[in-house]
Amino acid sequence: MTKPPGRVQKGPFVDSCEPGKHAWCACTRSATYPYCDGTHRGSDVTPIKIVLEKACTVVWCACACSNNKPFCDGTHSRI
């Protein structure tokens, strides 16, 4: 049985990201969280993919409660 997605930490991960494709780990089991490392394979969870047009700081949700995944929307402050 696959472990369901859960909270990695109560607050977000903030990272400077390069332009291009990024895959946010939705199964929360990646060794490279918040980035997908393929660990989800065999489960019914798939990563959320985004494309950044330019380098920027990304605030990734790590509490699993955001209504705007893969991005933090501040929901973690109410859990």
Site of interaction with ligand FES (CB under 6 A):
11-12, 61-63, 65-66, 72-76
Q: Could you tell me the smallest distance in angstroms from the CB atom of residue 15 to ligand FES?
A: 13
Closest C-alpha to 29, from 13, 46, 17:
46
Beta strand pairing call for 20-24 and 48-52? antiparallel
Q: Could you tell me the smallest distance in angstroms from the CB atom of residue 62 to ligand FES?
A: 5
Cβ proximity to ligand FES, 11 vs 19, nearer residue: 11
Closest C-alpha to 11, from 56, 69, 72:
72
Q: Could you tell me the smallest distance in angstroms from the CB atom of residue 6 to ligand FES?
A: 12
